[in-house]
Structure 1
Amino acid sequence: MIQEETYDVAVIGAGAAGLAAAAETAGAGRSTVVIDREELPGGILRQCIHNGFGINYFKEELTGPEYATRITRIAEEAGAVFALGSAVTDVKRLPDNRFGLVALSAERGVVRYTARAVILAMGCRERTRGNLAVPGTRPAGIYTAGSAQKLLNRDGALPGTSAVIVGSGDIGLIMARRLRWCGIEVKAVIEIMPQPSGLPRNIAQCLDDFGIPLYLEHAVTNIGGAKRVEYVDVAPLADGIPDASKTFRIQCDTLLFSVGLVPENELSRQLGVELNPATGGARVDSGFQTSVPGVFAGGNVLHVHDLVDFVSEEAALAAKAALRYLDGAPPPERNRVRVEANLKYVVPGYFSRNLNTVFSFRPLITADAAQLTARLDGEIVWKRRLRGIRPAEMIKVELPGTLLNRSGDLVFSLETELEA
């Protein structure tokens, strides 16, 4: 028999975002279910055994499992119900404007959930070798950085004896250090960009401290090996194209890919949510509501964050907006937010007049100093000088509602020529 349950809020995903959102809605007295395909809550945090989490959100430095345990406990004590080991296979808006979700689990079979609001918190997935189309054989020993992290930290198994890491994303950098701690030789980190993709502190602590070479503007051009990886060929890039004449070979038995993350938005597409091609996530307003009324999004399903603390903070804001929706607040005004010079994207994609709004940006440049400027309907309403601009680090600023006091397009730009 198909079971049916009804809640005020359905949160899809029990990672840092989903747990923070559930704590808000359940804590406000709204019946909340958190649905996740994993058997335990906490998401990727449970395999991140290094510290550095929670400094902003909990005002204390924690490991990933400690952060996951703490935020899970907060959501549980607030009254959230957990449906774990359950995969949401279908979600849609019903004729009465509620939402219907279908979840499958080994323990309960098919469960149908009905909710008045949905919070999307599915997180993101890693890009793989297939996304890069790296040529060569297809032997054992090729992993994403996250899968190798899970293998090592949760399953207690060594992925190999000598490794090369493709991409300088933060997970890959942290895994370089973790592999060295376990006695695995890390031969090199290969990055196609002229600057690292990860945070500077991870470059220093995970590569420099261990003498692991970082090859910028290089690419793996071939993977060799029969049953197991035996070597990779690497070449420097000239105008983005590998220079075959300068190819060199690195012997290794393990290859890790840390080449970026992709927001998990298959369910968002089912709902008809408008997506932002620059982020891969939903285009949301200042309350993190998507183009579908009653559907909210926060965390890495919206855009890939640097810090888990920001994930939780953002999802909590989305949950507060969901509470306003449930209380019958009128639909927010939606004025477009755009980016121009040297910025890849901005979240949220819309603002409401007279409402304090936190904006998040991903810069496209590396600069010691730059000026972030906001123009509303063509007029400069705000500007700030920033230091240490890097694509690996997200920029977050809050604009007071007193500046956002009229309709029109809000346009942000990042300029290295500083104005007085």
Structure 2
Amino acid sequence: MTEHDIVIVGGGPAGLSAAVAARKAGITDILILERDSFLGGILNQCIHNGFGLHTFKEELTGPEYAARYIEMVKEHNIPFLLNTMVLSISPRKEITMVNRENGLSVIKARAIILAMGCRERPRGALNIPGYRPAGIYSAGTAQRLVNMEGKKVGREVVILGSGDIGLIMARRMTLEGARVKVVAELMPYSGGLKRNIVQCLDDYAIPLKLSHTVVDIEGKERVTGVTLAKVDEDRKPIKGTETFVSCDTLLLSVGLVPENELSKGAGAAISPVTSGPVVDDRLETSREGIFACGNVLHVHDLVDYVSEEASMAGTSAANYVKAEGKKGSSFADIKAQGGVRYTVPQKLDIENMKDQVTVRFRVSDVYKDRYISVYYDGTRVFHKKKRVLAPGEMEQVVLKKESLKEYPDLKKIVVCTEVE
């Protein structure tokens, strides 16, 4: 059994950034494992621009952004294995993997960084009645077929779900010559960034129907149309509101789920809200020496934040391997309340935290003229007004070590929204 200082599972933007950060922190024995035939992950099929504004201070396409990090990995001579599927990770940090060259093999790591990304929810999770005809794709699958394989997936399109991938594919399909008839969204608000609603729907006069869902799919061999219906406050279809829309393609953009089977197998505690591991301010999971970052931890809206977070995970893993940086015996829990769905991280090592820690979170509904507040054991220490808060936009607050000096026995930090 071979052993490495740090093994990174996933060669997408998170894994690449973590590898570069760990190398810069002084670790030379690093190995990246990637199941695809090339590095870069999902960015390779995201040919639209809008990436890199925070990280590189310029607007890049997905492949261009990935290429920057792939070049860094090669410059630092960080080894990687492609077409390598990780089957399991044991609590003892033993990784079972398989590829054509070595067959089934096991390697051991002193530290592991989980960077497997996320996956799309399939049709089976939606319980939509109807046959299973051709022409039904997840938005990400359609994106890969169009952008990487040069296929045309349809001519008349309905999109269910207004997450960022669904919005971007509405524009992409239009540019490919298809007619996108409608984007339907179950919730009373869009799950995507405001800029994507404007640039991908409004600019192309594509209607967005909020509080609507698909209740039936017509067609046996190929989709011939779908039935949309309005939903009530409990998200149940309202009888009498059904409308039929003819189409030959249905794209599903109904949410992303962190790819966490390996995390669970390693014994990491999983958040019921994010479906990703519970982590502290070092991004270390409940399993010592195993770190997590990127969309496997929680679904991000900007890849720049993925890279920033992954860089921290890489540095933290390097410090763990070098046995640098003490770990405190007591942690303060970071709790989400009052309209905040979750926070990452969920724990804070007060004794050994950095000068400042960024806590990222999402709200559970659309709020206007609302305050973001932070409480230390019931005492409010941060209070800032936001004109609009929406689930599609990730928010953040910064906790400064200096502000914690007056709370040496701090047990609970609450991040919430308030009316006043």
TM-score per shorter chain, which class? over 0.9
What residue number does 1:323 align with?
A: 318
1:140-155 to 2 correspondence within 5 Å? 140-155=134-149
What residue number does 1:22 align with?
A: 19
What residue number does 2:158 align with?
A: 164
Q: Which amino acid aligns with 1:404?
A: L
Cα distance in 2 for partners of 1:182, 1:228 equals 20
Are the counterparts in 2 of residues 89 and 103 from structure 1 also a CA contact under 8 Å?
yes
What residue number does 1:84 align with?
A: 82
What residue number does 2:34 align with?
A: 36
Choose from 118, 132, 139 the match for 2:133: 139
Are the counterparts in 1 of residues 119 and 257 from structure 2 also a CA contact under 8 Å?
yes
Q: TM-score, normalised by structure 2?
A: 0.95
Q: Secondary structure in 2 aligned to 1:403?
A: helix
Q: Which amino acid aligns with 2:327?
A: P
Are the counterparts in 2 of residues 362 and 391 from structure 1 also a CA contact under 8 Å?
yes
Are the counterparts in 2 of residues 91 and 101 from structure 1 also a CA contact under 8 Å?
yes
Task: Say if 2:409 is the partner of 1:411.
Answer: no
Task: Say if 2:229 is the partner of 1:229.
Answer: no
Post-superposition offset of 1:263:
0.2
Cα distance in 2 for partners of 1:111, 1:82 equals 15
Are the counterparts in 2 of residues 367 and 389 from structure 1 also a CA contact under 8 Å?
yes
The superposition leaves residues 128-184 of structure 1 with CA deviations (integer Å, 9 ceiling, x where unpaired) of: 111111111100110000000000000000011111000000001000000000001
Post-superposition offset of 1:287:
0.6
Q: Secondary structure in 2 aligned to 1:45?
A: helix
What residue number does 2:274 align with?
A: 279
Cα distance in 1 for partners of 2:73, 2:371 equals 39
Cα distance in 2 for partners of 1:258, 1:291 equals 31
Q: Which amino acid aligns with 2:193?
A: L
Post-superposition offset of 1:374:
1.1
What residue number does 1:337 align with?
A: 334
Task: Say if 2:107 is the partner of 1:113.
Answer: yes
Are the counterparts in 2 of residues 51 and 62 from structure 1 also a CA contact under 8 Å?
yes
Choose from 188, 191, 194 the match for 2:185: 191
Task: Say if 2:254 is the partner of 1:251.
Answer: no
Q: Secondary structure in 1 aligned to 2:254?
A: coil
Q: Secondary structure in 2 aligned to 1:410?
A: strand
Task: Say if 2:273 is the partner of 1:270.
Answer: no
Post-superposition offset of 1:74:
0.9
Q: Which runs of 5 or more structure 1 residues have no equivalent in the other structure?
A: none
Q: Secondary structure in 1 aligned to 2:50?
A: coil
Cα distance in 2 for partners of 1:100, 1:180 equals 47
Aligned residues: 410
Post-superposition offset of 1:245:
1.1
User: Identity rate of aligned residues, in percent?
Assistant: 44
Q: Secondary structure in 1 aligned to 2:217?
A: strand
Q: Secondary structure in 2 aligned to 1:402?
A: helix
Q: Which amino acid aligns with 1:342?
A: G
Post-superposition offset of 1:5:
3.1
More displaced stretch, 15-24 vs 104-113: 104-113
Q: Which runs of 5 or more structure 2 residues have no equivalent in the other structure?
A: none
Are the counterparts in 2 of residues 26 and 75 from structure 1 also a CA contact under 8 Å?
no
What residue number does 2:168 align with?
A: 174
Q: Secondary structure in 2 aligned to 1:40?
A: coil
Are the counterparts in 1 of residues 260 and 276 from structure 2 also a CA contact under 8 Å?
yes
Cα distance in 1 for partners of 2:91, 2:244 equals 54
Q: CA RMSD in A?
A: 1.2
More displaced stretch, 329-338 vs 374-383: 329-338
Cα distance in 2 for partners of 1:238, 1:337 equals 34
Are the counterparts in 1 of residues 12 and 39 from structure 2 also a CA contact under 8 Å?
yes
Post-superposition offset of 1:372:
1.2
Post-superposition offset of 1:387:
2.9
Cα distance in 1 for partners of 2:288, 2:232 equals 48
Choose from 66, 71, 74 the match for 2:72: 74
